[in-house]
Amino acid sequence: MTKFKETMKVVCISDTHGLHKSMEKILPAGDMIIHAGDCTNVGELG
């Protein structure tokens, strides 16, 4: 079996209600971000 020494940091967020862009300064650094719902206030992007 191959042993991996590299790791991946996943950052998970949800319920940002349109504020996800302003969270850039407070989110921890990571390799992948998962946004799990409630990205907008009105149910549509834009």
> pLDDT at position 41, please?
65
pLDDT at 32: 93
pLDDT in tens, 3-43: 777 889 999 988 777 776 788 888 899 999 888 877 666 66
Contacts of 23 (CB under 8 A, 6+ apart): 13, 16
- For residue 28, give both structure tokens: 């921890």
Residue with tokens 């991946």, as numbered in its chain: 8
Model confidence pTM above 0.85: no
